[in-house]
Amino acid sequence: MIQNIPLSYVLIVSTLMFFIGIYGFLTRRNLITMLMSIELILNAVNINFVAFNRYLFPQAFEGHFFAMIVIAIAAAEAAVGIAIIINIYRNFRSIDVEQVDQMKF
Amino acid sequence: MFDQIVFFVIAAIILVFSVLTVTSRKILRAAVYLLFVLIATAVLYFMMNYNFLAAVQLTVYAGGIVVLIIFSILLTSHISEHAKMAPLKQSLLSALATIAGAMLTLMVILNFVFVPNTTPVAEQTVNDVGLALVSYQREGFALPFEVISILLLASLIGAIVVAKKEKLILPGKEEISENAENDSAQ
């Protein structure tokens, strides 16, 4: 189903998604939305792995499994990150990065 | 022709909802937009014929992570609360930096000629995926599989330990739970 779509189209989509995620990471001031931006970035990287595997090495499995491993790591990262965020919320009553600066200096 | 139309629709959905995810002032809406992005990505995987990966994407990402994020949003902020963004100067600078980075990457991608491998290969079924995942032969992936299972176990324990309410034991006093202390502070 992808014969008529060049590889560079998929790469353009994933590149734009990656940089949108970085923009969100830089401009958001809420820890959970920053975590969501990281999910966007990881997802863009996954699309790259899968596209390269399908277009350039269709007989191999490397990109496919790398994408699966990235998904598993994203799940682990989200679980631990959200546990930390909830702990921060308990201690500071806020998850705004501007206010969580006790360990800054 | 049909697959091209599907691809462009999916690409448009991904890009529009990605932008909405990072710019929406309402956090819960941003999480739902993220869900749309992840589902559209799963459709992209289905188009590339990786059915198992698409199913994993739908269950783990769209089913697991987004639900976790929505729960934590409900635990930590009010529905009516509007998310704060960076000051205008910082936003503009970040936009400039990301646009410059995207331009650079796109220039490299568009100037490089990718030669797709068009040799016909046998369709990879879920059976093949499962066999490769636990095989310790040359083309197997048993080691990363085991590493990931150790990592998941570690993060499971880590999440429990971090999120657990610990009881404060002060010398000469009874056990005071953190909760009781917070209540008295309020």
Question: Is A1 a residue whose pLDDT tops 50?
Answer: yes
The alpha carbon of residue A101 is apart from the nearest alpha carbon of chain B, in Å, by 16
The alpha carbon of residue A58 is apart from the nearest alpha carbon of chain B, in Å, by 7
Token digits of residue B33: 């937009």
The alpha carbon of residue B160 is apart from the nearest alpha carbon of chain A, in Å, by 8
Closest CB from A2, A33, A71 relative to B47: A2
Q: What digits encode the pLDDT tens for the residues B142-168?
A: 999 999 999 999 998 988 888 777 666
Contacts of B91 in chain A (CB under 8 A): 27
> Chain B, 5-34: which have a CB under 8 Å from a chain A CB?
6-7, 11, 14-15, 18-19, 21-23, 27, 30-31, 34
Most confident of A60-64, B135-139, B148-152: B148-152
Q: What is the pTM of this model?
A: 0.87
At residue B171 the predicted structure's pLDDT band, cuts being 50, 70 and 90, is low
Q: How many residues does chain A have?
A: 105
At residue B186 the predicted structure's pLDDT band, cuts being 50, 70 and 90, is very low
> Chain B, 144-163: which have a CB under 8 Å from a chain A CB?
144, 148, 151-152, 154-156, 158-160, 162-163
On whether the CB atoms of residues A61 and B132 are closer than 8 A, the answer is: yes
Q: Does B3 touch chain A (CB under 8 A)?
A: yes
Question: Is A46 a residue whose pLDDT tops 70?
Answer: yes
pLDDT score at B169:
63
Question: Is A5 a residue whose pLDDT tops 90?
Answer: no
More confident residue, B120 or A55: A55
Closest CB from A11, A47, A59 relative to B44: A47
Distances (CA, A) of B48 to A47, B16, B44, B54, B139: 10, 21, 6, 9, 21
- Provide mean pLDDT across the span B126-132: 86
- Provide mean pLDDT across the span B59-74: 91
| ipTM associated with this complex | 0.92
Count how many pairs of residues, chain A against chain B, have C-beta atoms within 8 Å.
229
- Provide mean pLDDT across the span B31-58: 93
Q: What digits encode the pLDDT tens for the residues A65-98?
A: 999 999 999 999 998 999 889 888 888 888 888 8
Q: Does B51 touch chain A (CB under 8 A)?
A: no
Q: How far apart are CA B24 and CA A28, in angstroms?
A: 10
Burial of B44 (0-12, 13-18, 19+ CB in 10 A): buried
Question: Is B132 a residue whose pLDDT tops 90?
Answer: no
At residue B42 the predicted structure's pLDDT band, cuts being 50, 70 and 90, is very high
CB contact under 8 A, A29 and B85: yes
Q: Which residue of B lies nearest to A4 if distances are taken between CA atoms?
A: B4
Most confident of A51-60, A77-86, B94-103: B94-103
Q: Does B88 touch chain A (CB under 8 A)?
A: no
What is the set of domains in chain A, with CATH numbers? 7-92 (1.10.287.3510)
More confident residue, A55 or B176: A55
With a CB cutoff of 8 Å and minimum separation 6, the contacts of A24 are A33, A34, A36, A37, A40, B21, B22, B23
Contacts of A57 in chain B (CB under 8 A): 117
Write out the CATH class of domain B1-83. mainly alpha
CB contact under 8 A, B121 and A54: no
For residue B176, the SS3 value is strand
Kindly list the domain boundaries of chain B, sorted by start residue.
Answer: 1-83, 125-186
Among A1-5, A58-62, B101-105, which is the least confidently predicted range?
Answer: A1-5
Q: How far apart are CA B57 and CA B42, in angstroms?
A: 6
The alpha carbon of residue B170 is apart from the nearest alpha carbon of chain A, in Å, by 19
The mean pLDDT of chain B is 85
